Amino acid sequence: MTATAVVLLAVAAVAGAVVWYAVEHRRPSAGTATWLAAAAVPIVLAGAAALFGLGGDPAGEGLLHVARAAAVVAAVTGGSVIATALLRVADRRTADLGSSVTRFSVTRSAGAGSAGEDGTDGDGVGGDATAAVSDPETLRGGTSIGVLERVAVAVTLLAGWPEGLALVLGVKGLGRYPELRRPAAAERFIIGTLASVLWAVATVGVVAAVQT
């Protein structure tokens, strides 16, 4: 059963990449439901791997090496599709608020003129309350940073250094701080970070399951 758990974790790593590529590149107009279905694939596989790991004998050193490598890869590939799916869900709420925010903006611009000519508020913060949270341009480089974040989280946990999580998140927060004054950017940052970290922790949890 332990070997089955490791195999399932490896399959989750591959499946995460496959479903992300299939939806992102093959179906660029895919809806939120499609993204959620794609995200369910690595989640279910990793969950099954954890159950098999808990029900089996502790893995040998060789099998553990394979499980650790699979966990890092699964953290990277599965995290991409899971984070995107959650950001798409956030976009649905943003779209529902779009019409009311637009009406407010029109009323405000007709008022005392506190907004700048470029569409920003007087302090230079863009009024992007209806911007797409899942749009990569909301926080440029987010996909690449997310990959590095998940690798760092998984590796620090596997190395037995959980304090490294604070370092990883601190560096990311400081680097993004100037951009987080925009509503959509802040929302994308929080959702993407939590999705990345929780998924990376979950994949490492599968390793812990096969190890005990």
- How crowded is the C-beta side of 180, counted as CA atoms within 13 Å? 13
41 token code pair:
């694939």
Give the per-residue pLDDT at 94: 58
For the chain, what is the domain count? Answer: 1
Among 74, 72, 75, 89, CA closest to 37: 89
Whether residue 51 lies inside any domain: the answer is yes
Q: What range defines the domain where residue 13 resides?
A: 2-96+134-211
Contacts of 67 (CB under 8 A, 6+ apart): 5, 6, 9, 59, 206, 207, 210, 211
- The more confident residue out of 102 and 120 is 102
Whether residue 165 lies inside any domain: the answer is yes
Q: One-letter amino acid identity for 25?
A: H
Per-residue pLDDT at 123 exceeds 50: no
Whether residue 174 lies inside any domain: the answer is yes
Whether residue 103 lies inside any domain: the answer is no
pLDDT tens for each residue of 72-105: 999 999 999 999 999 999 887 655 544 444 443 4
pLDDT tens for each residue of 45-81: 999 999 999 988 888 899 999 999 999 999 999 999 9
Q: CA–CA separation, 145 vs 165, rounded Å? A: 15
Residue 133 near residue 189, CB atoms below 8 Å:
no
Q: CA–CA separation, 42 vs 84, rounded Å? A: 13
Inter-CA distances, 126 with 76, 119, 172, Å: 31, 7, 22
Q: CA–CA separation, 77 vs 24, rounded Å? A: 13
Output the DSSP codes for 57-123: PPPPHHHHHHHHHHHHHHHHHHHHHHHHHHHHHHHHHHHHHHHHHHHHHHHHHTTT--S-TTSB-TT
Whether residue 109 lies inside any domain: the answer is no
If pLDDT is split at 50, 70 and 90, which confidence band does 24 have? confident
Whether residue 163 lies inside any domain: the answer is yes
Whether residue 140 lies inside any domain: the answer is yes
Q: CA–CA separation, 79 vs 69, rounded Å? A: 15
Whether residue 122 lies inside any domain: the answer is no
